[in-house]
Structure 1
Amino acid sequence: MNTWIILFVAVLGEVIATTSLKLSEGFTKLTPSVAVFVGYAVAFYFLSLTLKSIPLGIAYAVWSGLGVVIVSIIGWVLFGQKLDIWAFVGIALIISGVVVINLLSKTAAN
């Protein structure tokens, strides 16, 4: 499987786990609580697989950056989290950083 697809699976696992943290209400609800542990297990396992071919700093920057962006959007859409213009500017900067790393940085090459 392509390393970048594996990294995206790791991001999805992290996003599911982090979103489930909110839904677990302090680990008082069983299903979201289980999803937290399963999601983070998936996230870290697939992240570890990417480290065989993507440098640690690059993999972590993409993993955490995309996770922050996606979780912020989920918070805004599903949980009514208020995002002001500066939050959107910050999200755009994170996305820009991930794009720059992947398109322009020679350290991101496999």
Structure 2
Amino acid sequence: MSQGALLLAFAILFEVIGTTCMKLSEGFTRLWPSLGIVVFYVASFTCLTLALRHLQVSVAYAIWAGLGTVLITLIGVALFHEPMSAWRAGCIALVLVGVVGLNLSHG
């Protein structure tokens, strides 16, 4: 895995953890999840910025946003008991197709 891809993977991971902390913070009423939002988003943007030294911004941002969206949707379903419908699953599949397509297009 290239340095850019590894940094992008960490950026996605930190963004997903930061977004999960948003839910857990209950509108900034809980201290540790509220601090987690700041810490993990700073880490995410730092890794994304460093990844852009090696990757095209259009592809990197699409992968970051798309995979982050898919992962946080799955976390919402698994941890926060959000509903999963066929429509929602199909939309997740479309996001993944778009991410893969953009990733393949930059070569």
TM-score calculated relative to the size of structure 1: 0.92
Q: Which amino acid aligns with 1:60?
A: Y
Deviating 4+ runs (over 4 angstroms) = none
2:51 alignment counterpart: 50
2:36 alignment counterpart: 35
Q: Which runs of 5+ in 2 are unaligned?
A: none
1:98 alignment counterpart: 99
2:82 alignment counterpart: 81
* Number of equivalenced pairs: 106
Q: Do the aligned partners of 2:19 and 2:72 also contact (CA within 8 Å) in 1?
A: yes
Q: Which runs of 5+ in 1 are unaligned?
A: none
Q: Deviations over 1:68-90 (max 9, x none)?
A: 00000000000000121111001
- Counterparts of 2:53 and 2:34 in 1: how far apart (Å)? 30
- Counterparts of 2:70 and 2:59 in 1: how far apart (Å)? 16
- Counterparts of 2:95 and 2:46 in 1: how far apart (Å)? 24
